[in-house]
Structure 1
Amino acid sequence: MTEVVVVVGNGMVGHRFLERLRKYDTSKHFTLVSIGEEPIQHYNRMLLTEYFEHLSIDKLKLAPPNWYAENEIELMTNTQALALDTKNKKLLCQRLGGDVPQQFEVPYDRVVIATGASALMPQLPGVILHGVFVYRSIADLNSIIAHAENQAKLEAAGAAKKYALVIGGGLLGLEAAKAVHDLNVSVRIINRGTRLMSRQLDADGAKVLHNEIVNKFGIDVLYEKSTQEIIGTEENGVEAVTFTNGERFDDVCMIIFATGIQPRDELAHSSGLELAKRGGILINDYLECSEPDVYGIGECISHRNVTYGLVAPGYEMADTLAKNFTCESLENRITFPGGDISTKLKLMGMEVGSFGDYFPEFIKEPFEALTYNNPLEKVYKKLFFSSDGSKLLGGILVGDTSDFVRLSLMYKQKDTKPLVDPPNEILLGKRGGDGGNTVLDLPDEAQVCSCNNVSKGDICKAIKDKKLTKLGDVKKVCNVGTGCGGCMPMVKDILEAELAAAGAEVDKSLCEHFAYSRQELYQIIQVEQYATFAEVLAKHGRKQHDPRSYGCEICKPTIASILASLQNGHILKGDRAALQDSNDRFLANLQKSGQFSVVPRVAGGEITPDKLIVLGQVAKKFDLYTKITGGQRVDLFGAQKQDLPEIWRMLVGAGFESGHAYGKALRTVKSCVGTTWCRYGQQDSVGFAIFLENRYRGIRSPHKLKGGVSGCTRECAEARSKDFGCIATDQGYNVYVGGNGGTNPRHATLLASDVPQELAVKYLDRYIMYYIMTADRLQRTSKWLDALEGGIEQLRRVVMEDSLGICATLEKQMSYLVGTYECEWKKVIESPELMAQFAQFKNTNKTQKEVQMQTVRDQRIPTFVAHAKTGSSGTGTESSSPASTTSVLSDLDETEWVSFGSKDRFDMNGGGAVLYGESQLAIFNITESCNGIEKVSWYATQNMCPYDNSFVLAQGIVGDLDGRPKVACPMHKRNFDLSDGCCLSGDDFRLQTFDTKEEDGIIYVLLPPMDVVNARLATSKFVAKDGDAPVVPEVSRSPATLDW
């Protein structure tokens, strides 16, 4: 049974809550109703000043007009909420705008009050006169524009000059003053206090801002004046103003009050909810009001005696509440700890920023302040440090906020990361301009856009991936500057720095969906603690508001690996399964036949006779090819996907664990026999190798890792050809890093000499975690070390001397990964849900033979048939890649909708194979996300890849190429359009595609009769027959770039 959630208030925060609840409520447990007083749907109030430039409401809207209908949200505009009947759970409402008020009731199960705040209008004589306005809504702005245009016309015709008075010297007042000034009306700012923006700036900072406003715009700013009375007539409107000090202005045509806001708590008051003493609906840390099932978020509330006038804390509340509505139990709820009130703005061309505690009276510990005041450059900076200089406590920036992100990050990390540079360098920059203070020096996790939580890493990645060169494109792709706009100077700096730094260098952006490198995404995910690919894509993808941006075969496995490196969850649980690449997807190595290989872990190469016997028994039972690997273990080839769980049930029962040969993870730690048997051995190399392999097993990394331990300098374990290696000495071990074999062999480099085993482990822990943290996608440790600025010497400083102060963090993360290790295959065979992923088909328990086997050298190997050729086949097998549209099955007239069972059988954002007669089809689904609301689209194709006739497409990663839904074949990474079947990788192949739909949870595919499909796609038509001559393996057929 669904619950009705009524959201009162259709503003920015109310809309954000609706977005998030629809996103988290995957089962659609909630029916949503949104009620707003304005006659139009929600818009961005932070960009009201821009409305004066374009007069377009649509440019301020945060979602298209059909957003509510598409997401099944009932929207009631022009509607006022009058009172809550909390006992009977009804909301009394009233339609606005009609001649006769129409009242009605809206039932609810839960109600969320997000009524925001209203502009303060002082109760003074004359405030009802024509020409008196507040600065809050589109209606207010339209009235101001009409009045100002009329005054400008009068003055142009010869009338006397008159002034618009803006009452209030805060943010809203300055924005209003600038807007009216641009309407060609003279402006005076009237401020009750002694300085502008008194909540953000001290006296010296406000003075810099004052001079800019007066000198650049010619706007008068008057202080210590309180309005007493507004004078005018009903016919002429406003004419004069008097102040409490006796002064009078007679040349007034308009007054705009921008003296602050007050919480819209009338609904709470009329409903008997508890209010704070100074206004605002009283809420607790769970955002609950004083009555059950009533909640408050945004500017209308008071939380811990704080009322927020910024949108970012409201967004945090909205996200928190949406998560709590969809959590499994009350114990799993999260609290709202309070919002970040740091601000970064651009007012009248002047950059202004403040963060942390920037007024001495609010600093709760001994401090010292450093100030830079340069009137010539119109720059003022004041930073507050702890008395020992180890923490940045807060700061004020005027005229130059280029360091805002860097400094605010230092403030946020003040309790966890002591300052590295001395305070004077933090304020002024390093001597000689030797780096440290540019945008390139900012860490990737530094938040640039606080409104939409976009980091520097996100922006850099987008610039690289999309080859962006214009600020507007960066704004659109990265979703920055769509809130308050205060981040745009920093975004501009980042763009310019990235363009300047690019030169002829290879673009390191991950893919078209992310404008970041793997390193940048790692830091973003670590700092923001994201748990899903969808979160990362929604918040940091370069096409955040494009519902057709789904990810791809590059970014999905990369982010899956990062999530595993940080959180160590099972890679096949939940939505992570569909992110995995060819091998990780089924915890085995995909072979060219479409079969899999199985490689159990044999730590250090040491294995008992009993375990060797089990390996033989498994190979015989499942007819597997066996081979000894170079990593001192046994590889079993030719396993069918559906047999993998049973194979591993036998192996786990015998004490084996996953060897992770399929993953970008530790493969082996090779060893010689060391002091156990060798007369030259210096240390127990086998024991140490087993220890290291068991320590680092399962840890996901940017690329595969291999290790080695040799018992003496004779180096029988080839430790120096590994990513890490230890060579025994009579005093301990020499530790080597950054080696590899492969296409471009490289000897590892000495990191440390003659270190005891315990210290060697500590150094390796730090080295591996530092590599995982900072390397690019698919970058081996050798290439990473080459690219590391400072090379091996810098690595020594980091992992041995703790020059970056991160060793404790690296050790903690490694300890977490080691302590949370679980054998992935053991978990699979213990979970019926995970085991179900290995079924050959989603709609039947039947199985099909996909590969013909033959015996060579007393072992079973696959028989291959020739590759498919478009429109024909030279081997008796028929191509499924039609030469003309007449052979496309979906174009046939005789079709019917065929059921393939519950949608729950298929992984979300993934695929699954189904059997239709004797033909294999692949059914895929992709979740489209628009403003946090999800819509699932379904597709069906043949399951056979036409490139090499392997039945693997359902195992491929789904995504998009410039908005076109696609699947990447897991075999050779060729991409196919899911809508029309065209090959997107440049080859002349095409898939058969079929219309697909979901009704009442059941998946249907529009198909021709079974015999028609079988004539074209029957599996037996593409499998070699007994007696067929095997095709000689080809050296190369120009496969797509592979990454294993």
Structure 2
Amino acid sequence: MGAQIDLGGGEALKRRINDLGIAVRCNSQTTQMRPRRGSQDVARLDFADGGTLPVDVVVVATGITARDDLVRSAGLATGARGGAIVDEGCRTQDPDVWAIGEVACIDGKVVGLVAPGYAMAEVVVDRLLGGDATVPAPDTATKLKLQGVDVASFGDAFGRTEGAVEIVWADPIGGTYKKLVMSDDARTLLGGVFVGDIAPYASLRPMLGRELPGDPGAFLLPEGTGAPALELPDEATVCSCNNVTAGTIRSAVTEHGCTDVESVKSHTTAGTVCGSCLPLVKKLTNTELVRAGVEVSNALCEHFDLSRAQLFDAVRVAELHTFSAIIERFGRVPEDAAGPGRGCDICRPTVASILASQGNGHVLEGEQATLQDTNDALLANIQKDGTYSVVPRIPGGEITPAGLIAIGEVAQDFGLYTKITGGARIDMFGARAEQLPEIWGRLVAHGFESGHAYGKSLRTVKSCVGSTWCRYGVQDSMSMAVLLELRYRGLRSPHKLKIGVSGCARECAEARGKDVGVIATEKGWNLYVGGNGGFTPRHADLLAEDLSDDDLLRAVDRFLMYYIRCADRLQRTAAWVADLEGGIDELRRVVLEDSLGIGADLDAAMARHVDAYEDEWKAVLDDPEKLRRFSSFVNAPAMPDPDLAWADRRGQIRPATPEDHASGTTLLRSPTAARTDLETIR
């Protein structure tokens, strides 16, 4: 970290890492790695000061090295530490060859960051078009997370500029260190270092080289103590990855009609690489909308002025159980509405989710059934050909031979396509809506239940085999995965949820890419939250370490219930944690320290969910009224039309048989019209 933070920041980081149970030695030069007697395995490190350290594994971190094999084989000059030597226009000694990014050595340096690479690419494009652009000084600002500790630095972090002065805020007890490097008159910002608390980084980094308003020390005080507001100039860079300025973001709102962060991201590309600038992008967007006279609203839709979180609490406190009662009490109906209290495609599924999250009975019970979207309405995911998928729950991926045979027989009898997923499930595709009850009837009879692949709810709990089978496993991840899946099955939420449980630090279950990640340690479980593998993949943040089984369940209970109550509509846990004021630290205080005094309420809410759980498909099979929803037509015969025809890929046509109907094969209209239909399909 010597290239990123100064001595004071290093000491703060060292204390934070020591608190995690990891010993740190600084200023120690390793002179020799000694093997174990009679073996090539390393056993001891010898240091220059005469000290030694017994070891089992040694990991050597040496930074980046340019992949310049092609450069060398072409006979081009390379730098002392690798990389093709280029001039200020990124051209090598061969006038027809350019190099950019980590393979380019400019002024004797190779820069391994994304923003300088993009800047070099722009220079090359300009040169190819006849321009004379030159590579600017690289933006070496970095924002890192080391063992769950936030670290950031930018500009002249070491105060090497002549006459520079340093302003430092250090809190050894809280484990934070913040420093600003200013010009000799303490007005112009030259750089900064942040450890533990990097909240000022996003707004201060774009002010590099500019005057700060007021006392610069005020920007280092804890949040909420009245730091001056920063007005970024238009030319200040907000997104260094894509070189997007504050002015570009403002013009996206004022000149290009962008009215939210997502549209600004799409128009400007800001925040689409590492995402660290998104809080500032959001702040600039909302500020410009307010200036333009546009009200920045958190309203759910035209029918509700409340946000989803506000509506959740309102419904909970008022103990309402129907959409009609909710919209009458807290919403409004536009004058041109087709009927009283009909709502829209935004608020109806949202209210359905809120009611389901609060234990309001079966999702297809009474008025709730009319609120569900396409997938929840039939308890199955519709596919692009109009058929549906059938996904039974397989907790922990454990399944008996009899269960495998049952799934295989169902898939074979109904002609379903099968796939083993990355979430320890067996998916079956190609079922028609009217076939779903019969398919599920057979699966339920063999002990299977709904896997909830169709809802905004818990999808899967992925697991490795852990200490049950794996020689590296330190905890029983299989049993924990089964426990978590059975505990949270059917839990409705603002967006889908995925959990991973790994039996050791080798992370075979990819837990840090999940909304909730559990990783075994020698002392218990480490809990990570807010990860996902969606459009913007994100590693989860460390929430707690070395938890017992009971403490882990309590922490996950509270995290999930707090998310369900507070998140916006269709907001993943990753985005919710990122938007949460105070971030992961505030979440840690709420979940682990009960800072809001709602811990018991969250515990009770999860207990009610666990006690009230019922398999949605079994409940449908036991209720003739619910089963009626799965008929294609009111007067549909028990057997499909025998006049339909079957055609193979070679164009051979014959009347459809009952087996064809049962298989789910796409059938044509009739033998006489089949050839015409076949040509249309082709």
The TM-score range, normalised by the shorter chain, is: 0.5 to 0.7
Q: Contact conserved, 2:432 with 2:664, CA < 8 A, in 1?
A: no
Between Structure 1 and Structure 2, the one with more helix by share is: 2
Q: Tell me how far apart the structure 2 counterparts of residues 822 and 753 of structure 1 sit (CA, whole Å).
A: 33
CA 760–842 in structure 1, closer or farther in 2 if over 3 Å, else same? same
Q: Tell me how far apart the structure 1 counterparts of residues 307 and 325 of structure 2 sit (CA, whole Å).
A: 17
Deviation at 1:574, TM superposition (A): 0.6
**Residue 578 of structure 1: aligned partner:** 370
CA 679–556 in structure 1, closer or farther in 2 if over 3 Å, else same? same
Q: Tell me how far apart the structure 2 counterparts of residues 825 and 506 of structure 1 sit (CA, whole Å).
A: 42
CA 503–627 in structure 1, closer or farther in 2 if over 3 Å, else same? farther
Larger Rg: 1
**Mapping for residues 740-819 of structure 1, pairs under 5 Å:** 740-819=532-611
**Residue 304 of structure 2: aligned partner:** 514
**Residue 685 of structure 1: aligned partner:** 477
Partner of residue 534 from structure 1, selected from 324, 328, 346: 324
Q: Contact conserved, 1:711 with 1:727, CA < 8 A, in 2?
A: yes
Partner of residue 554 from structure 1, selected from 338, 346, 354: 346
Alignment of 1:734 onto 2:518: no
CA 750–855 in structure 1, closer or farther in 2 if over 3 Å, else same? farther
CA 517–838 in structure 1, closer or farther in 2 if over 3 Å, else same? same
Deviation at 1:855, TM superposition (A): 8.2
Q: Tell me how far apart the structure 2 counterparts of residues 512 and 581 of structure 1 sit (CA, whole Å).
A: 19
Alignment of 1:525 onto 2:315: yes
Q: Contact conserved, 1:853 with 1:861, CA < 8 A, in 2?
A: no
CA 714–1021 in structure 1, closer or farther in 2 if over 3 Å, else same? farther
Q: Contact conserved, 2:456 with 2:496, CA < 8 A, in 1?
A: yes
Deviation at 1:599, TM superposition (A): 0.1
Deviation at 1:851, TM superposition (A): 11
Q: Tell me how far apart the structure 2 counterparts of residues 580 and 789 of structure 1 sit (CA, whole Å).
A: 32
Q: Tell me how far apart the structure 2 counterparts of residues 703 and 1021 of structure 1 sit (CA, whole Å).
A: 48
**Mapping for residues 865-944 of structure 1, pairs under 5 Å:** none
**Residue 655 of structure 2: aligned partner:** none
CA 433–525 in structure 1, closer or farther in 2 if over 3 Å, else same? farther
Deviation at 1:514, TM superposition (A): 2.0
**Residue 543 of structure 1: aligned partner:** 333
**Residue 648 of structure 1: aligned partner:** 440
**Residue 594 of structure 1: aligned partner:** 386
* 2:456 alignment partner AA: K
Q: Contact conserved, 2:333 with 2:343, CA < 8 A, in 1?
A: no
**Residue 938 of structure 1: aligned partner:** none
1:947-999 deviations in Å (ceiling 9; x for gaps): xxxxxxxxxxxxxxxxxxxxxxxxxxxxxxxxxxxxxxxxxxxxxxxxxxxxx
* 2:626 alignment partner AA: L
* 1:799 alignment partner AA: V
**Residue 718 of structure 1: aligned partner:** 510
Alignment of 1:658 onto 2:658: no
Deviation at 1:582, TM superposition (A): 1.1
* 1:567 alignment partner AA: G
- TM-score w.r.t. structure 2 length? 0.53
Q: Tell me how far apart the structure 1 counterparts of residues 646 and 384 of structure 2 sit (CA, whole Å).
A: 13
**Mapping for residues 9-408 of structure 1, pairs under 5 Å:** none
Q: Tell me how far apart the structure 1 counterparts of residues 563 and 645 of structure 2 sit (CA, whole Å).
A: 40
Q: Contact conserved, 2:389 with 2:427, CA < 8 A, in 1?
A: yes
Q: Contact conserved, 1:839 with 1:845, CA < 8 A, in 2?
A: no
1:189-216 deviations in Å (ceiling 9; x for gaps): xxxxxxxxxxxxxxxxxxxxxxxxxxxx
* 1:672 alignment partner AA: C
**Residue 836 of structure 1: aligned partner:** 628
Deviation at 1:543, TM superposition (A): 2.5
Identity %: 55
Q: Contact conserved, 1:665 with 1:699, CA < 8 A, in 2?
A: yes
- The total of aligned residue pairs comes to 389
RMSD: 3.5
Partner of residue 820 from structure 1, selected from 580, 594, 612: 612
* 1:527 alignment partner AA: V
1:901-960 deviations in Å (ceiling 9; x for gaps): xxxxxxxxxxxxxxxxxxxxxxxxxxxxxxxxxxxxxxxxxxxxxxxxxxxxxxxxxxxx
Q: Tell me how far apart the structure 1 counterparts of residues 460 and 672 of structure 2 sit (CA, whole Å).
A: 41
- TM-score w.r.t. structure 1 length? 0.35
**Mapping for residues 439-454 of structure 1, pairs under 5 Å:** none
Deviation at 1:541, TM superposition (A): 2.1
1:846-869 deviations in Å (ceiling 9; x for gaps): 56579989789xx9887699xxxx
* 1:773 alignment partner AA: R
Q: Contact conserved, 2:322 with 2:368, CA < 8 A, in 1?
A: yes
Q: Tell me how far apart the structure 2 counterparts of residues 502 and 674 of structure 1 sit (CA, whole Å).
A: 56
SS in 1 for 2:418: strand
CA 692–618 in structure 1, closer or farther in 2 if over 3 Å, else same? same
**Residue 428 of structure 1: aligned partner:** none
Deviation at 1:638, TM superposition (A): 0.7
* 2:595 alignment partner AA: S
Q: Contact conserved, 1:854 with 1:862, CA < 8 A, in 2?
A: no
SS in 1 for 2:625: helix
Q: Tell me how far apart the structure 2 counterparts of residues 636 and 783 of structure 1 sit (CA, whole Å).
A: 31
Deviation at 1:508, TM superposition (A): 3.5
Deviation at 1:1028, TM superposition (A): 4.1
**Mapping for residues 951-970 of structure 1, pairs under 5 Å:** none
Q: Contact conserved, 1:587 with 1:825, CA < 8 A, in 2?
A: yes
SS in 2 for 1:753: strand
**Residue 413 of structure 1: aligned partner:** none
Q: Contact conserved, 2:498 with 2:515, CA < 8 A, in 1?
A: yes
Q: Tell me how far apart the structure 1 counterparts of residues 595 and 441 of structure 2 sit (CA, whole Å).
A: 47
**Residue 119 of structure 1: aligned partner:** none
CA 684–1020 in structure 1, closer or farther in 2 if over 3 Å, else same? farther
**Residue 613 of structure 1: aligned partner:** 405
Q: Tell me how far apart the structure 2 counterparts of residues 704 and 567 of structure 1 sit (CA, whole Å).
A: 18
1:302-350 deviations in Å (ceiling 9; x for gaps): xxxxxxxxxxxxxxxxxxxxxxxxxxxxxxxxxxxxxxxxxxxxxxxxx
Unaligned stretches of 5+ residues in structure 2: 1-223, 228-258, 261-286, 651-661
1:724-760 deviations in Å (ceiling 9; x for gaps): 0110001000000000012211111100011111101
Q: Tell me how far apart the structure 2 counterparts of residues 1024 and 534 of structure 1 sit (CA, whole Å).
A: 51
Q: Tell me how far apart the structure 1 counterparts of residues 602 and 359 of structure 2 sit (CA, whole Å).
A: 14
**Residue 630 of structure 1: aligned partner:** 422
CA 590–853 in structure 1, closer or farther in 2 if over 3 Å, else same? farther
CA 558–1020 in structure 1, closer or farther in 2 if over 3 Å, else same? farther
Unaligned stretches of 5+ residues in structure 1: 1-430, 435-465, 468-496, 866-1017, 1032-1044
Q: Tell me how far apart the structure 2 counterparts of residues 505 and 783 of structure 1 sit (CA, whole Å).
A: 23
Q: Tell me how far apart the structure 1 counterparts of residues 310 and 455 of structure 2 sit (CA, whole Å).
A: 21
1:462-503 deviations in Å (ceiling 9; x for gaps): xxxx99xxxxxxxxxxxxxxxxxxxxxxxxxxxxx9996998
Q: Tell me how far apart the structure 2 counterparts of residues 1019 and 537 of structure 1 sit (CA, whole Å).
A: 49
* 2:455 alignment partner AA: G
CA 753–503 in structure 1, closer or farther in 2 if over 3 Å, else same? farther
Q: Contact conserved, 1:851 with 1:1024, CA < 8 A, in 2?
A: no
* 2:388 alignment partner AA: F
Alignment of 1:707 onto 2:488: no
Deviation at 1:504, TM superposition (A): 7.2
Q: Tell me how far apart the structure 2 counterparts of residues 1022 and 700 of structure 1 sit (CA, whole Å).
A: 47
Deviation at 1:539, TM superposition (A): 2.2
